[in-house]
Structure 1
Amino acid sequence: MSYLKTIFLLLLLFTSCSSDSSIGPRVNQDDDLPDDSDPVYYSADEFVMGADLSYVNQILDHGGIYSVDGEIQNPYKIFADHGTNTVRLRLWHNPEWIQTEVYEDPAKPLYSGFEDVKRSMEEAKAQGMAVNLDFHYSDIWADPSHQDIPAAWLEITELEVLKDSVYNYTYETLSKLDADGIMPEFVQVGNETNCGMMYTNAPVDFPPLNGCDGHWENLGEVINSGIEAVRDAGVNSDIQPKIILHIAQPENTEWWFENIMSEGGVSDFDIIGISYYSHFSDTPLSELDEYISTFREKFDREVMVVETAYSWTTENADQYNNIFGESAIESNYPATKEGQLQYLIDLTQAVMDGGGSGVMVWEPAWITSDMKDLWGTGSSWENNAFFDYDGDLHQGINFMTTDYEL
């Protein structure tokens, strides 16, 4: 799960409810936006304007409706039409818990499994958007607090066998996608790997992969196996994916990359990916550009914010408690549609000012519906989405088509 999602699961229990890789040239278009703005469209090569749409298929399958000015539309088309040039999608190894624990129905799709992700990639590519495929290397949410080893790998006790498993899984997944003409433009080797990968819920004799405990060499070997698989899968493809390594929050980033590169021996990657949620970070938005500039210069890599979000209301649309409440609201940005838009505009400009290469918003289409997860029915995130509580698009999405100073 995203960093904030699992870190704050307990918060949900105690918080009450409130009532080719180029996507085309940069052009001006007169699209049907929720206001009178003059939109500017960016290519993914110029600056990634991204949205994590991992939940969209599940929402559509459970009664969710997306519309623009009251007209029901394909959500992938809505995002493409309003400036999104890259769709981010999480991939779980074998999420059988969705069938057994959530829906208790073996006929349900394994959402965020291979077939579901393939479905989303086909939709995104059909709308002219690039894809960032996020390998969690887990059957469930991976984040700084949870990096559970896939059940299929629980009996592995040797590092070489684990490296081979990571390589084969990554290579075979990408090769299948490439054969179907939907190779992703970006690949994340791990999700919010602040302390490592596959180090929770692992057997005692499993190879230690927790960098926070000093096991950088083992962690580096496993990450390098994933990287090698991405490179090998792209050799004969029309698309050679850029590789992202992903850490939660800017204040953790420099330390992590220093260690994974020097102690772990990892160097063959393209992009430093960061989760940035200002309320849960020691880094104020006013300093984000400096951090990004520092990372770019020190590590000689592109830098992207691959997860972020902001609330447009603190009210709920359903009985599923929201992760972001009053305490998540910054003083300069009210919890309004205009406040959300301004926050994302300012964040994007800060990333650009620091020389960064993109911004991806986490789950801006997670509206309320009959969709279920392990903690509730509906959405704990609908107040951060780009749709009102009738499922109609609002102006928050317009940050993607703002005329920035690049």
Structure 2
Amino acid sequence: MKNLKYILIAVASVFFTFAACSDDDNNKGGVEPPVYDMTGFAKGADVSWLTEMEKSGAKFYNTLGRETECMSLLRDLGMNSIRLRVWVNPTDGWCNKSDMLVKAWRANALGMRLLIDFHYSDTWADPGKQTKPVAWQSLSYDELKAAVAEHTTDVLTALKELNITPEWVQVGNETGDGMLWEDGRASTNMAQYAELNNAGYDAVKAVFPDAKVIVHLQSGDDNEMFRWMFDGLKDNGGKWDVIGMSLYPEPDTWEAMNTACLNNMADMISRYDTEVMLCEVGMSWDSPEESRDFLTDLITKCKAIANDKCLGIFYWEPQAYNGWNDYTLGAFDNSGKPTVALDAFK
């Protein structure tokens, strides 16, 4: 960990220079600096691409056209939380433990809250693929459970050694059919998926007992899938604290999808006496007004859910712009400025 600490010290001066620039803009003309609300309902973004984008030369600008460090900019736009994915051993190094720690340190320095998203893969884990890390592919099932626990413990212990405490931890990403296929494919062996999930859950609690563990599924408007999954986990002793959802509507479908998602949330809260969270949302970057309306409606109604059972909402990679990795659901325009979509977070 010593080498990582030296890296963090090396980037600190650059980071705080950008952060100070953001605050300076708010003080121009006698304007009072903003008061950042870092409690209550989580309003955040997954910015896991950020360091890779910066390395490629990507710049970010506030609405005045001034270059600004990205997380500081998002904080100024009303966000209070950051979500970061972790891959086990990615071939290019991005989103591995060390890369995640650099971004987590930056978020923590800004006072932002943190959600860590374990994919348990060397690359994307999502509804279409839940591929085991290369180093785990020959492991027995019992060894696989141990690997999940060891990896989770290792990453979270590294955060703890930097005095960074995540508020939430995802055990798997969009696990609508389980994870670590084929051993943990829920449709063929729900019991084994539940045990793999629990290996991660228990490891989180051993390092950070107060962190809330999220089981995150895609298609937050699909109540049938959510009932199938969480009935299956419950029947097999599966553990979770929060049910996480993704929601990616089209500009002309968001109203119906919001309604279905909110109905699903209400059912999950009632059926399992659980909290819920929108871990990923997004809409096409070139429909900013529709995206703003979608987000405003969703945030307003999620915050109104009784007993604060909806914990928050995270936009997925809003800072991606100008065709970055062919992703088109960000919330920045091609000049590197945030669109009006993010006004919903103010």
Q: TM-score, normalised by structure 2?
A: 0.83
Q: Does structure 1 residue 124 correspond to structure 2 residue 107?
A: yes
User: 2:200, 2:312 → 1: CA distance?
Assistant: 23
Could you tell me which residue of structure 1 aligns to residue 342 of structure 2? 397
CA deviation digits over 1:163-215, x for unaligned, max 9? 11111111121111101112321100000111111115xxxxxxx221112x1
Q: Distance in 2 between matches of 1:378 and 1:91?
A: 20
Task: Identify the residue that residue 378 of structure 1 maps to in structure 2.
Answer: 324
| From 153, 158, 166, the counterpart of 1:171 | 153
Q: Is the 8 A contact 1:186 1:242 kept in 2?
A: yes
**Which one of the candidate residues 265, 274, 281 is aligned to 1:301?**
274
- Deviation of residue 59 (structure 1)? 0.5
Q: Which residue identity does 2:301 align to in structure 1?
A: A
Please say if 1:58 is aligned against 2:52: yes
Residue 42 (structure 1) shift: 4.4
Q: CA deviation at 1:283?
A: 6.3
Q: Which aligned pairs between 1:246-265 and structure 2 lie closer than 5 A? A: 246-250=216-220, 251=222, 252-262=225-235, 264-265=236-237
Match of 1:25 in 2: none
C-alpha distance 296-247 of structure 1, shift in aligned 2 (>3 A): same
Which amino acid letter does the alignment assign opposite residue 295 of structure 2?
A: L
Deviation at 1:311, TM superposition (A): 2.0
- Measure, in 2, the Cα distance between the counterparts of 1:338 and 1:126: 32
Could you list the runs of 5+ residues in structure 2 that have no partner in the other structure? 1-24, 28-33
* Inter-partner Cα distance in structure 1 for 2:154 and 2:51: 23
Q: Any conservation in 1 of the 2:254–2:294 contact (CA below 8 Å)?
A: no
Structure 1 counterpart SS, 2:217 = strand
Confirm or deny that 1:387 pairs with 2:341: no
Of 293, 303, 320, 1:366 maps to 320
Per the alignment, residue 72 of structure 2 pairs with 77
Relative to structure 1, the CA distance from residue 282 to residue 137 in structure 2 (aligned partners, 3 Å threshold; closer, same or farther) is: farther
Q: Distance in 2 between matches of 1:387 and 1:308?
A: 14
Q: Is the contact between residue 310 and residue 344 of structure 1 (CA under 8 Å) also seen in structure 2? A: no
Q: Which residue of 2 aligns with 1:228?
A: 202
- The aligned residue for residue 90 of structure 2 is 95
Amino acid at match of 1:182: I
Return closer, same or farther for 1:282/1:245 CA change in 2, 3 Å cut-off: farther
Deviation, 1:288, is 2.5
Match of 1:151 among 134, 142, 145: 134
More helix by share: 2
Q: Does 1:212 align with 2:193?
A: no
Q: 3-state SS of the aligned residue for 1:124? A: helix
Return the TM-score normalized by structure 1. 0.71
Q: Tell me which amino acid in the other structure corresponds to 1:390.
A: S
Task: Tell whether the 8 Å contact from 2:285 to 2:332 is kept in structure 1 after alignment.
Answer: no
Matched AA of 2:341: G
CA–CA distance in structure 2, aligned partners of residues 339 and 358 of structure 1: 20
1:185 is the counterpart of 2:132: no
Identity %: 30
Shift of 1:291: 1.5
Q: 1:31 to 1:311 in 2, by over 3 A?
A: farther
Q: Give the secondary-structure state (helix, strand or coil) at the position aligned to 1:161.
A: helix
Q: Distance in 1 between matches of 2:218 and 2:42?
A: 19
Structure 1: unaligned runs, 5 residues or longer: 1-29, 33-38, 99-109, 201-207, 314-334, 369-376, 402-406
Higher relative contact order (CA 8 A, sep 6+): 1
Distance 1:182 1:77 in 2: 18
Distance 1:40 1:312, change over 3 A: farther
Amino acid at match of 1:265: G
Provide the rounded CA distance (Å) in 2 between the counterparts of 1:304 and 1:246.
Answer: 9
SS in 2 for 1:160: helix
- Pairwise CA distance, 1:155: 1.3
In structure 2, the residue corresponding to 1:122 is in which secondary structure?
helix
| Residues 38 and 111, structure 2, Cα contact 8 Å, conserved in 1 | no
Match of 1:135 in 2: 118
How many residues end up aligned between the 2 structures?
307
